[in-house]
Structure 1
């Protein structure tokens, strides 16, 4: 019986062939924890008797979720991370350097074919590179920091084939919102999702990261984007499934029929074509997070807002995915365009997305966001309404003060 891509990667790291539902002990190529999980992992590491991480070059800590520290308690947690990183000789990314998942990819800490663990649910983002990457709890991560190994149950795989071409005004974010709505919030629980098909071949790494990132919004254990057409600054093996690989389910999606898509309150799978909510007034707009805060996302917003001003009753916040992304946007004039339009930039981090600070909405306010979750209270206020959309939808809605359909724009106004 043939193997899926995920089974091949896990087999390599287990040192023997494995199939779905088997328990495997695997070596890992790297681990990461953020300020929401690292302090607990460090505590567990020490309670387990840990003295030294198994490989100081393969462990990473990132301060991004509450960054800069909004209060004394969190500042003290950050100090725990800094002290541990210094003691162990491991890499720590400090305040404002970037969001953990962007940094792991941007700095080459994770690569195709690898097996990577992160103490954050959106670690599945690295599937955009062709890696098996999954989120784990702090205690599990502590054990792996000591041993360089973990155990897992080999997940069955759902294969999703994307055919056709993206219509005007649509993007990878619209596509993954559509898929999450189709599969459901628990439809891929403890399953891997393999995204493939000709519609993906021309997508950038950034767009592939958006797709892989929201695998967890379907309950997925890991996501894997077919690496056909992927351009990286180094050579890599293009892993393919065997012709007789067995899938739990195969779904085909005609991307040509895709419309700009919105997730309406209060769940990422509560999706609708944007036409159903066009005209909904908004008070705050946000582009950022590990889903959509990369340079191409800022470029889309800048093209929409160049020479214009956002609506006077809208607060538009952008948190670049990393300091490097911000610097590139600064160098090419993107920051100037957006700033003149009324956008406010915050340090790279997760604050508004998780509701820690730097963008908590008020009671009764509507938010249009390019993030990944819109559960009630997700952005810090249970009495606000969060709508999820693409960067184009967010920027255009901020311009008009209401949810607006980017597919209605003429090509000379915006190119997506």
Structure 2
């Protein structure tokens, strides 16, 4: 019997030839990741019980991305303590403040490979599924255990196959596909299940576009959210790692608990209304919704391609009076790319505020939060009440193109009218 991608990875990492959904396995982990919140908590857990070593510090990656630049003495002191723990445990892979968001940095620095098993103390660790890895989030205490043992237990999940059919129209993106899937299938569709994205639409997507979908897969409850690794994956990782990268995917006769098709060619831009990512409407159903803030950022949609597409919408236009546009590139690499290409100039000339690479206001932890009564539209992945500031604010989710068009008009707008 053939296996899905999740089954193949969990089998190979637990010394098994075959695994089936529902089984429990203890699996060796390739990469363990923590950020400036969760890594600190994990190390304090180890320190409190006198554990002074990790199984393999070279497999641990630490990214300081949530509270940057530090805005309080407490935040600055926590960053200092993180650096001390990194030195204490002999960890080489520290990406300090300014490097970018963890889920942009790890792929760019070559830490995520096809066939890898990756855990991270952050829910959007599913992002690395875009590279053919089985990647999942966990809490700080589980990260502490994983770093100490180098392994952890997993229940083999059932797998759902989402087949993406057809080509996307101009102005419609992978973010719109994922929002449409959330709207159709709801936020609990894939609770403790692995998602695989396949079909001609998946194959046509760039690796960065795939990252958007894998990142947002956890909003459907997914344990993993994966694309088969193909030539695009190999090309993306070329020069980022010395490891030999090969294609990787499910067996031809893999068995899925469910298979669903979506016609990408018929999609409009999608908007997730407050206060849940699955409260989705097509742009033609939105009506007149003014916005006080437009935010292009987060681990979902602030990579180089995202910023380039947003700039193409904004070029020659100005942010509407009464609306502010905040742009935070996902990483130092993305920031350098758009600086060299002139894309950053276009964004600034349109009236955008630019902040250093990091999480920004996505989780309400940094500059750019919303005040009471304000509407915001963002390229992020969550719009729960109070997540980006006041509990009396309203946040809408959309693609970078839709966010850019909305910044121009001061209300939620269709980006397709700005595409030549």
Distance 1:376 1:276 in 2: 22
Match for residue 15 of structure 2? 15
> Do structure 1's residue 305 and structure 2's residue 282 form an aligned pair?
no
Distance 2:2 2:298 in 1: 37
Contact 1:215 1:223 in 2 (8 A): yes
Structure 1 residue 94: deviation in Å? 1.4
SS in 1 for 2:204: coil
**Superposition map of 1:71-82 within 5 A:** 71-82=72-83
Distance 1:62 1:242 in 2: 34
Match for residue 220 of structure 1? 222
Distance 1:306 1:275 in 2: 24
**Superposition map of 1:192-211 within 5 A:** 192-211=194-213
Structure 1 residue 229: deviation in Å? 4.8
Distance 1:66 1:233 in 2: 28
Contact 2:271 2:398 in 1 (8 A): yes
Residue of structure 1 aligned with 2:411, choices 395, 402, 414? 402
Residues 320-356 of structure 1: per-residue CA shift (max 9 Å, x gap): 0001110111111111111111101111111210001
> Do structure 1's residue 283 and structure 2's residue 292 form an aligned pair?
yes
* Total equivalences in the alignment: 411
Structure 1 residue 79: deviation in Å? 1.7
Structure 1 residue 68: deviation in Å? 1.3
Contact 2:171 2:415 in 1 (8 A): yes
Structure 1 residue 147: deviation in Å? 1.4
> Do structure 1's residue 118 and structure 2's residue 127 form an aligned pair?
no
Distance 2:37 2:350 in 1: 34
SS in 2 for 1:201: helix
**Superposition map of 1:157-196 within 5 A:** 157-196=159-198
Match for residue 66 of structure 1? 67
Structure 1 residue 202: deviation in Å? 2.0
Contact 1:3 1:245 in 2 (8 A): yes
Match for residue 134 of structure 1? 136
Distance 1:81 1:278 in 2: 47
Match for residue 323 of structure 1? 332
Cα RMSD after superposing both structures = 1.2
Contact 2:163 2:262 in 1 (8 A): yes
SS in 2 for 1:243: coil
Match for residue 29 of structure 1? 30
- Stretches of structure 2 lacking an aligned partner (at least 5 in a row): 239-243
Contact 1:201 1:229 in 2 (8 A): no
Match for residue 103 of structure 2? 101
Match for residue 232 of structure 1? 236
Change (3 A) 1:278 1:331: farther
Contact 2:371 2:389 in 1 (8 A): no
Residue of structure 1 aligned with 2:268, choices 240, 256, 259? 259
SS in 2 for 1:159: strand
- Stretches of structure 1 lacking an aligned partner (at least 5 in a row): none
> Do structure 1's residue 391 and structure 2's residue 409 form an aligned pair?
no
